[in-house]
Structure 1
Amino acid sequence: MPETDQVCKYRHIAAKERGPGPGRYALPPTLGFSSHDATKKMEPAYSFGRRLIHKAIKDSPGPAYFINPRITRHGKDGTPSYSLLSRQSDLQTFKTPSARAYYPEKVHPQGEKIAPKYSIGFRTRFRKLDQNPPSSKYILPTVLGPAQPNKLSAPSYSMTGRSKIGCYLEDLANAPGPGHTTKVETDVYMSKVPHYSLRSRTFMPHDGVKKPGPGAHFPENVKINKPNAPSYSLGVRHAEYVCPLIT
């Protein structure tokens, strides 16, 4: 039998190895909180307490025991509480002013300067014998109209009634129509706008001498002050059967 067949017949068994197994290594556990692996994340762990055997604890009230919600572990709750007053039997005993009886906007702010205020008191009983007339007894003349003895008056005008004698109301056929009156220019009662006018068309001054146009000149024929380029011309076409000139 070949050697390769012997290798395939007998498989390798890991239990026959002499090395230590996985239980040989003492790694810290990852369960619980006692000796937990420091390199691994530990979740929170909770435990149940033991049952108490003490009689005082055994006779404690159950969950139906009512505890005042205002009592906390820090003491009594200090939140203010309000209640509604009962209806008064006698309304005459409760005559305190309401909120509308006060005017806080009329009170000057505290600590700010305020101008002095004065008021006029009532007439005392001893002044009743005074025969001087009060200020309401004097009647001053009006200052409207032209009849003022010692006051300057502005000129005043009055309009008389319309007379029907000689008026168009006697004969309505003589009444003026809409086109009888002329239109009032707006420059009379409004700001006058500027006016502009157009002048007649003007022409440039020129003489009557006839001058040649651009086509009347031949600058290519000028040979006086410019060098002349060589020019060539083509000869006359001759027939093919002409005998050439032999000298």
Structure 2
Amino acid sequence: MTEVGWRKTPAIAAHETGPGPGQYSLPPTIGFVNHDYTKTTRPAYSFHRRLSDGLNIKDSSPGPCYYVEPQLTRFGRRGGPSYSMLARSKPTGQPQTPGPGWYSPEKVPPITQHRPPSFTMGFRTKYRLVDPIPAPNSYTLPSLLGLRVPNKPSSPGFTITGRNKHGGFSEDLSQSPGPGHYHSTDPNIYLHRPPAFSIQGRHSTPKTVFQTPGPGTHRPEEVTAHRTSAPAYSLGIRHSEFVTPLTVDVSQ
């Protein structure tokens, strides 16, 4: 409440610019999660849900025979890494140790006897997978061509570039058009136009109105204008082979 003269008026909350009491929150002192680090944490206990009433009640809590290590928490095991001593592991296979019969002492020459050096060719050894030393073919020598050779003197070098549009001998400073920029007038405009011809497509085959017969339609052998009838031929019956031939006596 503020006083204006002798009259008291209520304060307007919109004029207040500071946060209200509900804006401040302190960390809780109850529980384990987000606990106030300035306060000492007390022992915490949890409540189990109520078991159902009846005869078939199953107890889910461990009995006295179970012992929970104090290092086990709900966030995991508390403490640093630990190690244990295990039993000796079994060998993967039989050892390839030579027996007494593999040695031949009689083949060894006397120690005091002079012998020339001898060499044997063995198998190629396996490459090491982790070898930081590079192979001989990994080294490359710098190129001796060009101007940027670090340890060799070089003669003057020149390069050929493309023709520049500006500053070159072919640059047209006057910007005048050449002969190819002018368009010539068609002579048919101011001279007599010569005859012009065009090539068109082929016309279709002309179709005749009258059905004129061709040479194969005429049959001269069937013409009866100069004869009674056209020649006709017929085929008779086939005679039997066993008929007696006709014998005619010829007078002499």
- TM band (smaller chain): under 0.3
User: If the length of structure 1 is used for normalisation, what is the TM-score?
Assistant: 0.19
Question: Per residue, is there more helix in 1 or in 2?
Answer: 1
User: If the length of structure 2 is used for normalisation, what is the TM-score?
Assistant: 0.18
